[in-house]
Chains A and B, each alone.
Chain A
Amino acid sequence: KQEVTQIPAALSVPEGENLVLNCSFTDSAIYNLQWFRQDPGKGLTSLLLIQSSQREQTSGRLNASLDKSSGRSTLYIAASQPGDSATYLCAVANNAGNMLTFGGGTRLMVKP
């Protein structure tokens, strides 16, 4: 059974800092990995999708890496802003690609 862990569970940083969020998973037989953002009480916003054959993806100030063999992914946020405050979730798709297993999320607060 796939298990996804995100560390840290919560993070508070001053505005402007670069930061790294971590995600680990136990079964390396994945189809892809997605990072999402969730604002309180809201749905999920897709940030980045990395296919199992890829090593990284970039979108603006965000960069996500994937090391499938070690079961790890990181989300790098450059020059953090207060508007980045949210919960960040990583999710891995099983080998059939039809089911996402989520981590518990990292709650990020960026202070002005």
Chain B
Amino acid sequence: DAGVTQSPTHLIKTRGQHVTLRCSPISGHKSVSWYQQVLGQGPQFIFQYYEKEERGRGNFPDRFSARQFPNYSSELNVNALLLGDSALYLCASSWTGTAEAFFGQGTRLTVV
């Protein structure tokens, strides 16, 4: 069985640009969460979606948005990129929003 898949694996963007990151959950999982991990720190919660509805939002600016599709895949969008948005973006899926979380390999975003 495929695990959580994220695309792209690496991305370089210029300040002010927009980026879209994608995540496909494990088959049968209905919840997807997004986390940002800056080098040397633990991941920080951004969003959780369950059954296509937002169930949680972390302390991130409105430049960050996300959505979940009918097939339970998800997109994370970041507008007006800043240098400080450079990080590893991790997607996690779980069967329900409260069950064990399984993470993908992440998307490494570099903003120059």
Contact = CB atoms under 8 A, between A and B. Distances in A.
Contacts of B43: 44, 89, 91, 100, 102
A36 B102 CA distance: 10
B100 interface: yes
Contacts of A97: 97-98
A100 B56 CA distance: 11
A46 interface: yes
Contacts of B98: 31-32, 93, 96-98
A36 B50 CA distance: 22
Contacts, number: 66
Nearest to B100: A49
A4 interface: yes
Contact of B90 (A34, A43, A93, A98): A43
B101 A98 contact: no
A42 B108 CA distance: 9
Interface residues of A, number: 25
Contact of A99 (B56, B90, B103, B106): B56
B70 interface: no
B100 A102 contact: no
A104 interface: yes
B84 interface: no
B103 A46 contact: yes
Given A34-B101, A36-B103, A49-B100, A100 B108 contact: no
Interface in A6-41: 31-32, 34, 36, 41
Given A36-B103, A41-B108, A103-B42, 19 more contacts: A4-B42, A34-B100, A34-B101, A42-B105, A42-B106, A43-B4, A43-B90, A43-B103, A89-B42, A96-B56, A98-B33, A98-B56, A99-B48, A99-B56, A100-B92, A100-B101, A102-B35, A102-B42, A102-B43
